[in-house]
Amino acid sequence: MNKISSYPVDGKFGRYGGRFVPEILMEAITELEKAYDQAKADPAFQKQLDYFLAEFVGRPTPLYLAENLTQKLDGAKIYLKREDLAHGGAHKINNTIAQALLAKRMGKTRIIAETGAGQHGVATAIACVALGLKGVVYMGTEDCERQRLNVFRMKLLNTEVHPVDSGSKTLKDSINEAFRDWVTNLESTYYLIGSTMGPHPYPMIVRDFQSVIGKEIKQQFKQKTGGLPDALVACVGGGSNAMGTFYPFEDDDIYVKLYGVEAAGQGIETGKHSATLATGTEGVFHGMYTYILQDLHGQISETYSVSAGLDYPGVGPEHSFLKTLKRADYVYVNDQEAVEAFLMLCKEEGILPALESSHALAYAIKLASRMHKDQSIVVTLSGRGDKDVESVAKYMGMRI
C-alpha cells in the first residue's frame, strides 16, 4: 500500500472524498486544483506565504508545557500547541491567509466563506483586509446569536455577514448557502472553505496549509525532548486543526497515537450531539463521500454541541480514511466535560481555551491519568475562548 500521506489519489482518500458537486462547479474546482499545484511548485508563492505566517500571523506558535495541569493530574506530561496565540485567536488564519493568496493569484476579487463559531469567518475577514479582497461570510442565525462577538468583529473588519435562516441555522446551512452563492458568482468569486472538507481539492489544500501546526510540533518537541510525543490530541468538527496536527505524523511515527475528539453534546444517547465518526455512517454530503450523521432515508441530521465550531453532521474525508485504517482513534467528550476542562485550564494555567479546543483538552485530561509520567501528550489548543465566555456563563446558569 502507498504511504498514508500520499493520499489523495485521484481526489480520493481510499474510498473517501471525491467531487460530488453540481456540474456548474466542476470546471471551477479543476481550475482550483491546477492553480494550487502551480502555486505549490512556485518558490515565490511559498516565500510570500512564509512572510505572512511569520510577520502577520505570528508563527511559529509556542509549544507550552502545562506544568500546573500536569502536576495536578499526576500522569503524562501535557503540552499545549498554542494556536490560540495565532492572529485572530485560532488556527483558522493559517488556511485563510494561504487560500486568500491563492485566490489573488487566480485573479479572484471576491471571497466567500462559511462559518460556525465565527473563527473561520473572522480569519477570512482578516485575510481579506490584509490582501485587499472583498469578503462575504455566511453564518447560521443560531450561530450568529451564540457568537455575537465574532459577528461584530467581522463587521469591524469590513466584511459582509449574511445570516442564514434555513435548516438547522448552523454551520451546515451556511455551507449550503455559500455553495449557492458560488454557483451564482463563479467568475469573480473564490470559495474559501474553512475546514478539510468539501469536494476535492479542498480537503487536501486545507490540510496542507494547516499542516504547519504538526510540522512545528514535531520540530519543537524534538528540540525540547529529543524525541516524539506519545500522543496527539485535537478536536474534530470538520477536522482542520486535527488534520493539520496529524498529517506530518501519519506515516513514519506509528508509536505516536492520534486522537480526534468529537462533540458528544448532551450525550450520545440523547441524539443531541455531533459525533460523526464515532456514531455516523457513510454517505455523500457537501461534495464528499465520508462519514455523516443521517437518518434511515439519507436525510442529514441536525446536530448539537455547546461549541458552534464542532456542530456539524459531516467530517473531512481524510479523517474517515484514518478511522478506517485505524491510524487514528476517534473519541468523544460531552458538553459538561468540555466546560469543566475549559474552567480547569483557566484556573490551572491562566489560559482561556475555545470550547472546541476544550473538547480535546478534556480527553487529554482523561488520557494523561492513564499514562506514565515519562510519557507526553500534545494537545492542539486550536483557539482562544474569549468568544465563548457568554456561552460558558449561560451553561453555568450565570449572566454576565
Partner 1 sequence: MNAIQQVIQKQKQNGYRCLIGYITTGDPSPLQTLEIADALIRGGVDILELGLPFSDPIADGPTIQNASLRALKAGTTPKCVLEIVKQIKTKQDIPLVIMTYYNPVFKYGVKRFLIDAKMAGVNGFIIPDLPIEEADEYRQAAKTAQIETIFLASPATSPQRLQRIVDASSGFLYLVSRFGVTGIQTSVEDTTVNLIKKVQPFTSGKIPLAVGFGISKPEHVKRVISAGADAVIVGSAFINIVQRSAQNHGTTLKELELAASTLKVATKV
> What are the catalytic residues?
92, 114, 382
Parallel/antiparallel/unpaired status of strands 16-20 and 287-292:
antiparallel
DSSP, res 230: S
The 224-263 site mask, x for binding partner 1 (CB under 8 A), equals ----------------------------------------
User: Which of the ranges 15-23, 56-64, 235-243, 338-346 carries the binding residues for partner 1, by CB under 8 A?
Assistant: 15-23
Among 65, 284, 346, 389, binds partner 1 (CB under 8 A): 284
Name every residue whose Cβ is closer than 8 Å to that of residue 381 and which is 6 or more positions away in sequence.
Answer: 80, 81, 82, 83, 84, 351, 353, 354, 357, 360, 361
Q: Contact between 268 and partner 1 (CB under 8 A)?
A: no
- DSSP characters for 372-383? -TT-EEEEEE-B
C-alpha–C-alpha distance, residues 17 and 335, integer Å: 29
Residue 157 or 292 having the CB closest to partner 1:
292
18 binds partner 1 (CB under 8 A): yes
Q: Which is nearer to partner 1, 93 or 292 (CB)?
A: 292
Q: C-alpha distances in angstroms, 150 versus 84, 139, 145? A: 15, 11, 10
Q: Do the beta carbons of residue 361 and residue 225 sit within 8 Å?
A: no
- Nearest CA-CA partner of 200 in 355, 11, 13: 11
Residue 6 C-alpha cell reads as: 500520499
Q: Which of 2, 23, 41, 397 binds partner 1 (CB under 8 A)?
A: 23
Cβ-based neighbour number of residue 300 at 10 Å = 18
> Other CB atoms closer than 10 Å to residue 391's CB: what's the count?
20
Least CB distance from residue 282 to partner 1, whole Å?
8
Residue 171 or 362: the one with the smaller Cβ distance to partner 1 is: 171
Q: Cβ of 164: how many Cβ atoms within 10 Å?
A: 25
Binding status of residue 163 toward partner 1 by CB under 8 A: no
Phi, psi angle pair for 349, to nearest 5°: -120, -10
When the beta carbons of 291 and 363 are compared against partner 1, the nearer one is 291
| 28 binds partner 1 per the rule CB under 8 A | yes
Q: Does 271 bind partner 1 (CB under 8 A)?
A: no
By C-beta, is 249 or 285 nearer to partner 1? Answer: 285
Asked if 279 touches partner 1 (CB under 8 A), the answer is no
Q: Is 108 in the site for partner 1 (CB under 8 A)?
A: no
CB nearer partner 1, residue 173 or residue 337: 173
Using CB under 8 A, which of 6, 9, 26, 54 touches partner 1? Answer: 26
Q: Least distance in Å: CB of 49 to partner 1?
A: 29
Picking from 354, 303, 281, the residue whose alpha carbon sits closest to that of residue 170 is 303
Q: Does 24 participate in binding partner 1 (rule CB under 8 A)?
A: yes
Among 16-24, 128-136, 319-327, 391-399, the segment contacting partner 1 (CB under 8 A) = 16-24
Q: ω before 203 within 30° of 0 (cis)? A: no
Residue of 190, 246, 259, 285 interacting with partner 1 (CB under 8 A):
285
Of 147, 57, 139, the C-alpha closest to 385 is 147
CB 8 to partner 1: min, Å = 14
- Residue 80 CB, nearest distance to partner 1 (Å)? 36
How many residues touch partner 1 under the rule CB under 8 A: the total is 35
Question: For residues 236 and 70, what is the distance between their CA atoms, to the nearest angstrom?
Answer: 23
Among 75, 287, 309, 317, binds partner 1 (CB under 8 A): 287
Closest CA to 40 of 241, 165, 201: 201
Near partner 1 in 167-196, by CB under 8 A: 167, 172-173, 176, 179-180, 183-187
Residue 323 backbone dihedrals phi, psi, to 5 degrees: -65, -50
Footprint of partner 1 (CB under 8 A): 18-28, 166-167, 172-173, 176, 179-180, 183-187, 283-287, 292, 294, 296-300
